[in-house]
Amino acid sequence: MPSQSDLNDYGSPPTPDQVEIVLLGPGYGESVVVHIGGGNWLIVDSCIGRDSETPASLNYLHAIGIEPNSSVKLIVSSHWHDDHVKGLGQVVEVCTSAKFSCSTAMTKIEFLTYVNLHERLNLRRATSGVEEIKKVLIALSNRTPIRAIENRRLEVFEPAVTGHGQECEVWSLSPSDVQIDKFIDEIVDLIPKDTEAMRRASAEGPNHVAVVLWIKVGNTNILLGSDLEETGVGTGWSAIVNSTARPSGKAEVFKVPHHGSNTSHNNDVWSKMIVAPNPVAILSPFVLGSARLPSKDDANRILDYTDYAFLTSNHRQTRRTRRPPTVERTIREAAKSMRPSLSPLGGIRLRSRPGLSQGPWSIECFENAEHLSQVS
Partner 1 sequence: MSPSENLVENFADVEDTQNPSQRATLAEEPAGPVNLGAIEERLRRHAVDFYSSVGTAPLTIINSGSELQPERPREVLIYRPKQKVRNEALRVLQEWEGIVLTVSESPGGSEDFFVAELHDLTNQNEAESAEFSLDEVYIDQRNLVKPGAPFHWIIGYRDRNGTRERVSQIVFRRLPAWREEDIDEAREEARVLAESIRFE
Residue 117: is it exposed, middle or buried by C-beta count within 10 angstroms (0-12/13-18/19+)? middle
Is residue 88 part of the contact set for partner 1 (CB under 8 A)? no
Piece of the chain touching partner 1 by CB under 8 A; list 37-45, 161-169, 257-265, 338-346: 338-346
Q: Which residues of 78-103 are buried (b: 16+ CB within 10 A; e: fewer)?
A: bbbbbbbbbbbbbbbebbeebbbbbb
Piece of the chain touching partner 1 by CB under 8 A; list 68-76, 274-282, 283-291, 347-355: 283-291
Is residue 87 part of the contact set for partner 1 (CB under 8 A)? no
Separation of alpha carbons 278 and 254, rounded Å? 11
Is residue 358 part of the contact set for partner 1 (CB under 8 A)? no
Instruction: Using CB under 8 A, pick the residue from 5, 15, 330, 374 that binds partner 1.
Output: 330
Write the CA distances from 181 to 106, 111, 129, 209, 348, integer angstroms.
12, 12, 21, 9, 35
Is residue 50 part of the contact set for partner 1 (CB under 8 A)? yes
Closest C-alpha to 14, from 252, 362, 254, 369: 362
CB 282 within 8 A of CB 254: yes
Q: What is the DSSP-derived secondary structure letter of residue 164?
A: S
Is residue 95 part of the contact set for partner 1 (CB under 8 A)? no
* Sequence letter at residue 34: V
Task: Provide the minimum distance between the beta carbon of 122 and partner 1 in the complex, in angstroms, as a whole number.
Answer: 9
Separation of alpha carbons 317 and 303, rounded Å? 22
Instruction: Using CB under 8 A, pick the residue from 1, 193, 244, 319 that binds partner 1.
Output: 193
Piece of the chain touching partner 1 by CB under 8 A; list 63-71, 163-171, 197-205, 211-219: 197-205
Q: What is the DSSP-derived secondary structure letter of residue 304?
A: T
From residue 97 to residue 136, the character string flagging contacts with partner 1 as x (rule: CB under 8 A) and all else as - is: -------x--xxxxxxx-xxx--xx-xxxx-x--------
CB nearer to partner 1: give 92 or 223: 92
Size of the site for partner 1 (CB under 8 A): 64
The pairing of beta strand 220-224 with beta strand 253-255: parallel
Q: For 141, left (φ over 0), alpha (ψ -120 to 50), or beta?
A: alpha
Instruction: Using CB under 8 A, pick the residue from 288, 296, 357, 360 that binds partner 1.
Output: 288
Is residue 147 part of the contact set for partner 1 (CB under 8 A)? yes
Piece of the chain touching partner 1 by CB under 8 A; list 137-145, 237-245, 306-314, 349-357: 137-145
Is residue 339 part of the contact set for partner 1 (CB under 8 A)? yes
Is residue 333 part of the contact set for partner 1 (CB under 8 A)? yes
Closest C-alpha to 35, from 351, 311, 360, 254: 351
CB nearer to partner 1: give 120 or 158: 120
Is residue 319 part of the contact set for partner 1 (CB under 8 A)? no
Is residue 292 part of the contact set for partner 1 (CB under 8 A)? no
CB 32 within 8 A of CB 224: yes
What is the contact surface with partner 1 in residues (CB under 8 A)? 50-51, 104, 107-113, 115-117, 120-121, 123-126, 128, 137-138, 140-141, 144-147, 191-202, 204, 287-291, 320-321, 323-324, 326-327, 330-331, 333-342
